Amino acid sequence: MHFHHIAIEVKDLETSAAFYQKYIGLQEESRFLFGGEKIIFLKADNFRMELISTTEQSSNNHSSIHLCFEVDSIDDVTQHFNENGIFAIDGPYKLENGWETIFYQGPENEIIEFMQIGRKADK
């Protein structure tokens, strides 16, 4: 068994897809209708994300989804996002085990975490 994808319900399918393509580097794999919902699958290497359109109003202003991407350099992520006017909502932090982490907010208020397991020189 292996991980296949994570799914997020979004109100604006195209805005969310564009965000993950532009800032995270995911590529569109497919899009289709299923049970009256519009769906886009995005992919990078062995990682897949399913974006599902929804029109339901939620009383929660934040998505219950938390995504985490392992990266080679937290510094590179921070620079990339800062250059595009997107700033961390929490962190960066160095954890007790040496991992580094930083958090951003996506277009549907979902939390996006980036984690660096070792220093660049360690890889």
Check whether residue 43 and residue 68 sit in a common domain: no
Residue type at position 69: F
The mean pLDDT value for 81-106 works out to 92
Q: Which domain holds residue 29?
A: 1-55
42/10 same-domain check: yes
Clarify whether residues 68 and 51 are in a common domain.
Answer: no
Q: Which phi and psi (to 5°) does residue 41 adopt?
A: -100, 130
Whether residues 122 and 72 fall in one domain: yes
Q: Give the percent of the chain with pLDDT over 70.
A: 85
The C-alpha atoms of residue 79 and residue 86 are separated, in whole angstroms, by: 10
Higher-scoring residue by pLDDT: 7, 55: 7
Say what percent of the chain tops pLDDT 90.
Answer: 54
- The domain total for the chain is 2
Q: pTM (2 decimals)?
A: 0.69
Residue-wise pLDDT tens digits, 52-67: 987 655 545 555 567 8
Pair (96, 50) in one structural domain: no
**Strand pairing of 111-116 and 66-70?**
parallel
How would residue 86 be classed by pLDDT, with cut points 50, 70 and 90? very high
